[in-house]
Copies of this chain bind each other. A is one copy, B any other.
Amino acid sequence: MALDTLYSATLRPHRMFSPLSVNEFDQLLQHAKIVSLSKGEHLFTQGDPAHNFYFIVSGQVKLFRLLKDGSEKIIQIMNKDEPFAHAVMFKKQKTFPVCTQAIAATELISIRNQDYIDLIKTNSDIALELLGSMSANMNNLIQEIEILSLKSSTTKVVQYLQTLMADKSPLNSTFALPAAKHMIASMLAIQPETLSRIFYRLQKKGLIQVDGADITILSPEEFKLHS
C-alpha cells in the first residue's frame, strides 16, 4: 500500500524524523510501507533477519522473548507514535532479538534500515536524536532489570506502578494499565494469580483503587514505603 500524507504526517513530528529536510524525508518514504495487523497477528520472530524497523501509527504491539519452556516473557509494550526495532539495524548479527505480536488491530509504517542509515551518514542531527532515543530505551531496560531483581512480588508491583505514574505528565494519581493484567504479570515475571492477589491486598490496605484497567493511587506517601 502506498504511503499517503496522512500516514507520513504521524511520522514527521517524531524526534527520529523531525530533523530531516523535506527532501531527506521524502527519500526515506520512497520505500516505506504500511503494514496492517489484526489482533493476535505476528510481525516477526526472534532470529529473523531484520531489514526494516517500524513505527506504530495506531494500535499496540508486544515485544517478547520466547523461552525454552515454550512460554513467553514480555519485554515491552509499544504504543501509537512509537518506533521499535530501530536498534537492530546496528547489531553485527542483523536479526531480531525478540518476537512481535499485535495485541490490538494495528497499523505500522515499515522503514528500510538501509535508507535510514544512509541519512545518518549525511545528517548528524538525526544521528544524535537516534542516540537519544536508544539511550532512553536503555534506561527503560535498566529499570525493568531492577524491578525483576526485587524479591517480593508486592514490591515489584508497587515499583512498577510508580514508574507508570512517573511517566504520566502531569503527575496524576489515576491512570490506566498499558495492557491486560496477564501481560503486566508477564512483564513483572509473576503469575497472573499472584498479581490479582497483590492488587486485592493493596486495595484492602487502602493504598490503591482498582477499577478494571484503571488504577488510582490513594495514598502515594504510604504507597512508596512498600517499594
A residues bordering B, Cβ < 8 Å?
65, 67-68, 73, 75, 87-92, 97-98, 117, 120-122, 124, 127-128, 130-132, 134-139, 141-142, 144-146, 148-151, 189, 227
Asked if A124 and B120 sit within 8 Å, CB to CB, the answer is yes
The A contact surface, by secondary structure, is helix
Chain B residue numbers with a CB within 8 Å of A92 are: 132, 136
A131 → chain B closest CB, angstroms = 4
The 8 A-B pairs of least Cβ separation, nearest first, read A90-B135, A148-B148, A149-B189, A127-B127, A141-B141, A90-B131, A73-B149, A121-B124
Given contacts A89-B135, A92-B132, A138-B138, 13 further A-B contacts (CB under 8 A): A65-B142, A67-B149, A67-B150, A87-B138, A91-B132, A91-B135, A92-B136, A97-B142, A120-B124, A127-B131, A131-B134, A141-B142, A145-B148
Complex CA gap A88/B146 in Å reads: 18
Chain B residue numbers with a CB within 8 Å of A189 are: 148-149, 151
Closest to A186 in B: B149
